[in-house]
Chain A
């Protein structure tokens, strides 16, 4: 446990030194999207003000996902690169699972920070438009942000161990881009009933559950996913990505 905490502390200290860079890289996009769709377009009368309300939790979810993935993926690429910085961690008196889990927890802290900062930033940018429905339930928000962060970071570990570093750019274009469009960030899952059975395809996207979790916590009055399904999705994807990611990490780390 000493080694685990020491490794985590090292990760958080290093991340806090790059905090501005990390947060800018994950927050810029969602926050500017809300400026356009939650403020400018409603003022022009092109979309209804409620679009912004729907998008606030969704964009928080995107911020969490991106920060979680980046928070694990970038250190991981460095770890497993030619110089193998990971060996220093693997030689600490701790198991390989502990090293991998440490990466997930550090990424989750990064993701949670991004999500919790994205929310207020967006609310600020939507000032003067329809904000009536944004009423965060704090006691629900914090644990959900934590679980969503862990899920995103575990997903990052899975991606990072399955994909060659040189394809990292492609990953963002081909995997994360579509995920964000079809992850219920811009529309509530409950309302997808309108497209029939296709609604259930969206459950294959882990971001759907992160979006719906944020929706539940931030805009409880808008339609959202039934709680049991939400809980199952979050825990299920978290368990799956943790299992796949840590196992793949072990395979890559120990020759």
Chain B
């Protein structure tokens, strides 16, 4: 059964005198099953957070319909709020309370009786490995610890769906990995998660299914494995070079090269190194043939990489742009 249905969601932020209106979400539809780990993957500004905002009642959609566990958001926002929880992008822990109070007051807002609040707070602080910080003020915690407290707070009222907005942005790699493990174990116990991220690896490791989003639209939606399988060829060969003449036509002729796409580097440093992406079926002599063609064209090869296709390749394949990590 679908625990969440989003239909033709659109959101345009009104402009001001100096700024034009922004069409953040332009017709997004998807459904999430109970117990699923669902992801929205895309660059900053793709409309992921706005979509989550609309689901969580904090952003008013311009049009479209959202139903959470059978309740329409526009009709009964209070009922929706009881069924969802949000782990926001900005770490908005109540800085005037202690960590334990952050959890118990959250429980109070949702009408949990006192003994239940205390019991759940104790259990969740243990589970999320922040029990030793229970009496500390949130702002004295590290980013990773604050993120765990945010998750513990979200779980206090036993929501049916937890919305995670870029949960690991700004965390160091170790804290990120620890958080992934936590999220996976919560998911195994049946929590439904909806995650937004611009980290390919995060989407790949956590999500059962994911939608790749760009400019307010869903470009594709499937399991990570199926998305990667959708690419031509078994491997991806990237070439960074300075070429006096376009080499793509000649490279495309080579045996084993299935497709070629130029890639715009988002954060290119202004030199004229171009990136070509070859979808290849690796076989005897393929690299030799490619290198010979590059050299024959008088190009100055700077860097080369051969890899299994990743979600980033899917993204590049769909948009022609690299995704800034």
Q: Which of A3, A84, A88 contacts B111 (CB 8 A)?
A: A3
Q: Do residues B88 and A10 form an inter-chain contact, with CB atoms below 8 A?
A: no
Please report which residues of chain B, range 148-169, place their CB below 8 angstroms from some CB of chain A when the two chains form the complex: 153
Q: Which of A41-49, A90-98, A145-153, A192-200 contacts B (4 or more CB under 8 A)?
A: A90-98
User: Is residue A255 contacting chain B, with contact meaning CB distance below 8 A?
Assistant: yes
Name the residue on A nearest B102 (C-beta): A88
Question: At the interface, is chain A mostly helix, strand, loop or mixed?
Answer: helix
Q: Do residues B108 and A85 form an inter-chain contact, with CB atoms below 8 A?
A: no
Q: Which of B54-62, B63-71, B303-311 contacts A (4 or more CB under 8 A)?
A: B54-62
* Cα–Cα, bound, A84→B88 (Å): 9
User: Is residue A82 contacting chain B, with contact meaning CB distance below 8 A?
Assistant: yes
Q: Which of A9, A83, A87, A94 contacts B78 (CB 8 A)?
A: A94
User: Is residue A17 contacting chain B, with contact meaning CB distance below 8 A?
Assistant: yes
Name the residue on A nearest B89 (C-beta): A84
Q: Do residues A14 and B56 form an inter-chain contact, with CB atoms below 8 A?
A: no
Q: Do residues A254 and B78 form an inter-chain contact, with CB atoms below 8 A?
A: no
- Mark contacts of B107-124 with chain A using CB atoms, 8 A cut-off: 1 yes-contact digit, 0 otherwise: 011110000000000000
Q: Do residues A255 and B109 form an inter-chain contact, with CB atoms below 8 A?
A: no
Q: Do residues A85 and B92 form an inter-chain contact, with CB atoms below 8 A?
A: yes
Known A-B contacts A3-B110, A10-B97; A88 and B78 likewise in contact (beta carbons under 8 Å)? no
Contacts of B86 in A (CB 8 A): 87, 91
User: Is residue B90 contacting chain A, with contact meaning CB distance below 8 A?
Assistant: yes
Contacts of B56 in A (CB 8 A): 91
Q: Do residues B97 and A14 form an inter-chain contact, with CB atoms below 8 A?
A: yes
User: Is residue B94 contacting chain A, with contact meaning CB distance below 8 A?
Assistant: yes
> Which of B57, B93, B108 has the most CB atoms of chain A within a 10 A radius of its CB?
B108
* Cα–Cα, bound, A9→B108 (Å): 10
Q: Do residues A83 and B82 form an inter-chain contact, with CB atoms below 8 A?
A: no
Contacts of B58 in A (CB 8 A): 87, 90-91, 253-255
Q: Do residues B111 and A255 form an inter-chain contact, with CB atoms below 8 A?
A: no
Q: Which of A3, A14, A83 contacts B92 (CB 8 A)?
A: A83
Name the residue on A nearest B86 (C-beta): A91
- Mark contacts of A222-255 with chain B using CB atoms, 8 A cut-off: 1 yes-contact digit, 0 otherwise: 0000000000000000000000000000000111
> Which of B82, B85, B97, B111 has the most CB atoms of chain A within a 10 A radius of its CB?
B111
Name the residue on B nearest A10 (C-beta): B105
Name the residue on B nearest A86 (C-beta): B92
User: Is residue A104 contacting chain B, with contact meaning CB distance below 8 A?
Assistant: no
Q: Do residues A93 and B96 form an inter-chain contact, with CB atoms below 8 A?
A: no
Contacts of B108 in A (CB 8 A): 2, 6, 9-10
Contacts of A3 in B (CB 8 A): 109-111
User: Is residue A185 contacting chain B, with contact meaning CB distance below 8 A?
Assistant: no
* Cα–Cα, bound, A94→B109 (Å): 9
Beyond the given A85-B94, A91-B84, could you list 14 further A-B residue pairs with CB under 8 A, ordered by the A residue number? Answer: A2-B109, A6-B108, A10-B105, A84-B90, A84-B92, A89-B109, A91-B58, A91-B86, A92-B110, A93-B81, A254-B57, A255-B58, A255-B59, A255-B60
Residues of chain B touching chain A, judged by Cβ–Cβ distance below 8 Å, are: 13, 53, 56-60, 77-79, 81-82, 84-86, 88, 90-97, 105-106, 108-111, 153
22 A-B contacts (beta carbon < 8 Å): A2-B109, A3-B111, A6-B108, A6-B111, A9-B108, A17-B96, A78-B95, A83-B90, A83-B92, A84-B88, A85-B93, A87-B58, A87-B88, A89-B109, A91-B81, A91-B84, A91-B85, A92-B109, A93-B111, A94-B78, A95-B77, A254-B58
Identify the 8 closest CB pairs spanning chains A and B, nearest first: A92-B109, A6-B108, A2-B111, A14-B96, A93-B78, A83-B90, A83-B92, A255-B59
